[in-house]
Amino acid sequence: MIDKTKVVYQIYPKSYKDTTGNGVGDLRGIIEKLPYLAELGIDMIWLNPFYPSPQRDNGYDVSDYTAVNPDFGTMADFEEMIAVGKEHGIDFMLDMVLNHCSTEHEWFQKALAGDSFYQDFFILRDEPTDWVSKFGGNAWAPFGDTGKYYLHLFDVTQADLNWRNPTVREELFKVVNFWKEKGVKGFRFDVINLIGKDEVLEDCPINDGKPAYTDRPINHDYLHMLNQASFGQDPSFMTVGEMSATTVENCILYTAPEREELSMAFNFHHLKVDYENGQKWTIKDFDFEELRSLFHTWGEGMSEGNGWNALFYNNHDQPRALNRFVDVKNFREEGATMLASSIHLSRGTPYIYMGEEIGMLDPDFESMADYVDVESLNAYQIMLDEGKTPEEAFKIITVKSRDNSRIPMQWDASENAGFTTGTPWLKAGKSYQQINVEAEKNGKIFPFYKELIRLRKELPIIAEGDYKAVYKDSNQVYAFERNWQGQKLLVLNNFYADEVTLDLPEVYQSGNVLISNYDDVKVGEKITLKAYQTVAVLVGD
């Protein structure tokens, strides 16, 4: 059983801290910042891939699973990082990209050279299906000059691995055990609900083909095998599956402890509430009611089904939540703290993405030349091909690009935000002179995160309590209740700048304010929430 008091902090190593001046963040940079993270109080660091890779998809195109990309450091640095982490009470969770590997990986190269043993590592067919790649275009590409096609659900250089082949599974389990033996205590499995492909692959005109390859029943079998062959032997291991387009029912199966699959799951439904017609490359104000009801469906569904959620708003694939959900010009601090409490007091394991704890924003880039991400570059081209003007397409990129969150961590007001003395691989955001760790340490947001992390460790109701939706019809307040051994916790979050007054149920009228982002909060028959105010009221001892 995992420790539910733990909080995970995600580091995109490429953008955290560069100690060599090559413009790329590195493992020694992470070692340097461990005291900062210990002060924040987090328990575990999830590191995005730092393995050798041609970097077509920033490391999610792995060409060697058991080595360190020299740009990030050496294996000795890695081992030191684990050891120093332990001294600070911080463990590491590694990103395992087991759905696909780079076409530069020796497995693919050998397959391409005609070795049939390795050809069976990949998904080869005589006829492609109509599935659309998540990065645009058809999901199949010609396999050399063999006349066959290989499947790539992502970039053309990310070839899907054939999990139906037992040798492939064995090889991948070895990879997981290699890192486990190095002392890591967690894994984040990339798009892990896509690994289980059916034997017969068929056209699927719905939703770009997703139903044909997502959450297939065999996926659960493979996760159970993975669990048993590696981390399942150590009950303290924290594992999280990144689940693309998934369902509550499947996530209960993936995470209910007795199933022995994973500890928890990421889902992305709440991060599509600002998509027009479900399409990412559009601009739309977020739909609060959809967000609220998704949180309630997942919160209650997982609570009732004994599943476990990973709670998050930000990661390396998402524009900053602050820019999406909050009037940041006027209420950055209130919005950042409200968002934080809306997940840190909820049921599940909270994840903080680097910079979130200081209220970092999207970068305000000025031209397409500033963008690096393969998904953004492809999407820009597709939008032009579809008839958008360069201005229209660029505007959408500025709002939606994954590079928004991948910009350098803002440490101080010096050049390049104190990230590097060289030329950063991706430009720093414009706001770094005002928003940086040095300036924010004693500001409003960082100490608030610290307090939320501390409270989760102090109060079992936060870590263990169940989840119940309340004020279900509010068009402005996202609220939930936690219950644990007779204690009750009510968490109210005003998602707008307008004040709102709510009737408070009697049981809470004599409760204590556990935390709020405003001073002097009084509870009575009614409670008035100011702009982006969050209030948590605790009853019982």
Question: Measured from the CB of residue 486, what is the shortest distance to ligand TEU in angstroms?
Answer: 41
Say whether residue 270 binds ligand TEU (CB under 6 A). no
Q: Which is nearer to ligand TEU, 192 or 479 (CB)?
A: 192
Q: Which is nearer to ligand TEU, 43 or 190 (CB)?
A: 190
User: If you write DSSP's letter for every residue of 481-510 in order, what string do you get?
Assistant: EEEETTEEEEEEEE-SSS-EEEEPPHHHHT
Binding track over 107-146 against ligand TEU, x by CB under 6 A: ---------------------------x------------
Say whether residue 444 binds ligand TEU (CB under 6 A). no
Question: Measured from the CB of residue 242, what is the shortest distance to ligand TEU in angstroms?
Answer: 6
Candidates 191, 328, 437, 461: give the one binding ligand TEU (CB under 6 A). Answer: 191
Contact 100/159 with Cβ under 8 angstroms? Answer: yes
Q: Which is nearer to ligand TEU, 105 or 316 (CB)?
A: 316
Tell me which of 160, 242, 333, 334 is the catalytic residue.
242
Q: Which is nearer to ligand TEU, 310 or 492 (CB)?
A: 310
- Give one word for 387, left, alpha or beta, with left for phi > 0 and alpha for psi -120 to 50: left
Q: Is the dihedral of CA 472, 478, 484, 486 positive or negative?
A: negative
Helix, strand or coil, per DSSP, at residue 155: coil
Candidates 103, 129, 219, 244: give the one binding ligand TEU (CB under 6 A). Answer: 244
Candidates 269, 280, 430, 441: give the one binding ligand TEU (CB under 6 A). Answer: 280
Question: Segment 385-414, which members bind ligand TEU (CB under 6 A)?
Answer: 402
Question: Segment 287-316, which members bind ligand TEU (CB under 6 A)?
Answer: 316
* Cα-based distances in Å from 181 to 3, 73, 125, 230: 21, 19, 37, 10
Say whether residue 190 binds ligand TEU (CB under 6 A). yes
Q: Which is nearer to ligand TEU, 230 or 246 (CB)?
A: 246
Say whether residue 14 binds ligand TEU (CB under 6 A). no
Candidates 149, 154, 411, 425: give the one binding ligand TEU (CB under 6 A). Answer: 154
Contact 259/224 with Cβ under 8 angstroms? Answer: yes
* One-letter amino acid for residue 346 of the chain: S
- Give one word for 154, left, alpha or beta, with left for phi > 0 and alpha for psi -120 to 50: beta
Candidates 64, 287, 300, 317: give the one binding ligand TEU (CB under 6 A). Answer: 317
Q: Which is nearer to ligand TEU, 59 or 418 (CB)?
A: 59
Looking up tokens 């009750």, which residue turns up? 488
Task: Report the distance separating Cα 422 and Cα 444, nearest Å.
Answer: 31
Which are the contacts of 95, defined by CB distance < 8 A and separation ≥ 6?
46, 47, 48, 49, 187, 188, 190
Q: How far is CA 386 from the centre of its chain?
A: 30
Helix, strand or coil, per DSSP, at residue 172: helix
- State yes or no: is 242 an active-site residue: yes
Say whether residue 60 binds ligand TEU (CB under 6 A). yes
Question: Segment 492-531, which members bind ligand TEU (CB under 6 A)?
Answer: none
User: If you write DSSP's letter for every residue of 224-235 in order, what string do you get?
Assistant: HHHHHHTGGG-T
Q: Which is nearer to ligand TEU, 190 or 334 (CB)?
A: 190
| Site residues for ligand TEU per CB under 6 A | 57, 60, 97, 134, 154, 190-191, 242, 244, 280, 316-317, 375, 402
Q: Which residues are catalytic?
A: 190, 242
